[in-house]
Amino acid sequence: MMEKANVLNMSYQPCIFIFGLGFTGTMLARKLVEKGWRVRGTKRHGSHPDSGINALPEAVKVFRFSADEPLDNPELAFAGITHVVSSIAVIGGTDPVLAAHGAALQAIKAKHGLWAGYISATSVYTEADGGWVNEDSPTEAISRRGQWRRQAERAWQEQLDAEIFRAAGIYGAGRSAFQALLAGKARIINKPGHLFNRIHVADLARIIMAAMDNPAPQRILNCADGSPCEAGDVIRRASQMLGMDAPAAVDFADADMSPMARSFYATARCVDSSRLKSELGLDLLYPDYDAGLASILIEETALGLIKD
């Protein structure tokens, strides 16, 4: 485990390897580059070049990686790393990062020390019928994806003493209710009592960074705002802020949805994330969807994603 004193040493420049430079990984990379970190990470072969809101800082060194394409030169990719984070989902019950490079990462940890983090999801929890769950709640998910996520959590903890970040629905500029509305893709599914939390991508990055500054091997942290609500509430509020009419609600029983979309409505839970304050001393910048939407509206307008 990395000592906090080392991170605070001005002569020490930490180096992180981020598996999955997607929405969350890019935000984390940006924030760490701003703090002087060396940042490396992965993207899939053939993925779209970064541009606009999803652009990576030039300082980030990018390697190609996927479940079918392990790192071509892991020795180069991992040279001198002090931290590793994965945002890559389980594929077919297997964690692709550990399957391809778990042994190499374990060797680095044993020889030099290595902080590890795994970005999971709140889908690991046992169905709570709309009740509250915390980090100590049962984790016998009803969905296969939730079960696979929990298996991956355990593997990351066992192999690398990883900290686990159970993220609620991740949103932010470029991935918002505004963009869904403007693209005509926003839907309101009427299923009373189906509450869920979300987490702004900037807050998720802040949580991971705070955990790296105050490490605790195998710690589990819920990453969610404190205001669970129905999905339709967010769409209606975003519509109001845009001066648009909200789409008509469709009853869940009558809705035409993909199996993945329908699985979202199969469970309901409210996620307690008070451990963020008690263990990390962290207050969220966006503790509810209203605060998050207000910030996103300003950012997306400035970026030209929303026209005045």
In this prediction, residue 49 carries a pLDDT of 55
Q: Is 263 a residue whose pLDDT tops 80? A: no
H or E element: which one contains 38?
A: strand 38-43
Q: What is the mean pLDDT of the chain?
A: 92
Three-state SS at 211: helix
What are the E-state strand segments in 55-195?
A: 61-64, 83-86, 115-121, 132-133, 163-167, 169-171, 188-190
Q: Indicate the pTM of the whole model.
A: 0.93
Identify how many contiguous H helices and E strands the chain contains and give both numbers: 11, 13
Q: Is 8 a residue whose pLDDT tops 90? A: no
Fold of 4-171+199-226+270-286: Rossmann fold (3.40.50)
In this prediction, residue 2 carries a pLDDT of 45
Average pLDDT over residues 263-289: 93
Q: Is 272 a residue whose pLDDT tops 80? A: yes
Q: Residue 20 is which amino acid?
A: G
- pLDDT tens, 9-29? 445 789 999 999 999 999 999
Q: Is 45 a residue whose pLDDT tops 80? A: no
In this prediction, residue 48 carries a pLDDT of 58
In this prediction, residue 260 carries a pLDDT of 78
- pLDDT tens, 232-261? 999 999 999 999 999 999 998 888 988 877
241 or 4, which is more confident: 241
- pLDDT tens, 140-180? 998 899 999 999 999 999 999 999 999 999 999 999 999 99
Average pLDDT over residues 69-89: 97
In this prediction, residue 192 carries a pLDDT of 87
52 neighbors 46 (Cβ within 8 angstroms): no
For the chain, domain boundaries: 4-171+199-226+270-286
Alpha helix positions (H), 92-229: 96-112, 144-160, 177-182, 201-213
Q: Residue 283 is which amino acid?
A: D
pLDDT bin (cut points 50, 70, 90) of residue 3 is: very low
Residue 293 to residues 23, 68, 177, 235, Cα–Cα distance (Å) = 17, 37, 8, 10
Cα torsion 23, 173, 274, 279: sign: positive
Residue 252 to residues 128, 183, 193, 218, 231, Cα–Cα distance (Å) = 19, 22, 12, 38, 12
Q: Is 5 a residue whose pLDDT tops 50? A: no
